[in-house]
Amino acid sequence: MNIEEIKENLSKRLSEKRYTHSLGTMNAAKELASIYGENVEEAEIAGLIHDVAKELRKDEIEEYLERYNIKPDEIEQIQIGLLHAKLGAVIARDEFNLSREIQKAIEYHTTGNKNMDNFAKIIYLADKIEENRNYDNVEEFRILAKQSLDEAMLAFLDFTIQKTIKKGHLIHPDTVDLRNFLLNHLTNV
């Protein structure tokens, strides 16, 4: 499936707002992939499709969980919205026949994971800094993402963890593990 076919498919599956966000993520992923020497076309596709499962209804989520034998962890059982990343990865594989690299990037784009490669970091950050985002500090993250993936990841993780704490929500262990891994890596370089 080429990028135009994926756009057509997503324009029917997603709300206009979510589709616009996906296009923005695609553009940011393309730019970051170009900067960091990753496959630009694959990054565009991953950025475009990363939220394919974001707007699934609860019954659709349950159907996918059963079909693919996905067992939500204790945090995902409480914060069901986190599951869109795992479900998006299986949709990318089975409905769009996309590469394992794209699948992993989609799977990790919400909580992160200490095993992320640069491609997955690009998709994670592209989702957070795309042109339609307008939260405090977004411009700083956009600049930092073009200078250092790891430093941008760490800065954004600090930001999002603080925000999550203020909301009184649970923090997924993968997010904490990734932050600790990056902090250890950056301080021991």
**144-189 pLDDT tens trace:** 999 999 999 999 999 999 999 999 999 999 999 999 999 998 988 6
User: Any alpha helices (H) in 37-116, and if so which ranges?
Assistant: 40-49, 58-67, 74-78, 83-94, 100-108
Q: What is the pLDDT of residue 1?
A: 80
Tokens describing residue 186: 């950056």
Percentage above 90 pLDDT, the chain: 96
| Ramachandran class of 148: left when φ > 0, alpha when ψ lies in -120 to 50, beta otherwise | beta
Which DSSP string do the residues of 137-164 spell out, in sequence order?
THHHHHHHHTT-HHHHHHHHHHHHHHHH
Q: Distance between CA 72 and CA 22 in Å, rounded?
A: 25
What pLDDT is attached to residue 178? Answer: 98
Rounded average pLDDT over 14-25? 98
39-64-85 Cα angle (round to 5)? 40
Q: How far apart are CA 56 and CA 54, in angstroms?
A: 6
Please state, in angstroms and rounded to a whole number, the distance separating the CA atoms of residues 24 and 27: 5
The rounded distance, in Å, linking the Cα atoms of 164 and 186 is: 23
pLDDT at 189: 60
Sign for the CA dihedral angle at 95, 47, 117, 62 comes to negative
Q: What are 63-80's pLDDT values in tens digits?
A: 999 999 999 999 999 999
Looking at residue 64, its amino acid is: Y
The pTM is what? 0.96
Instruction: Please give the share of the chain, as a percent, with pLDDT higher than 70.
Output: 99
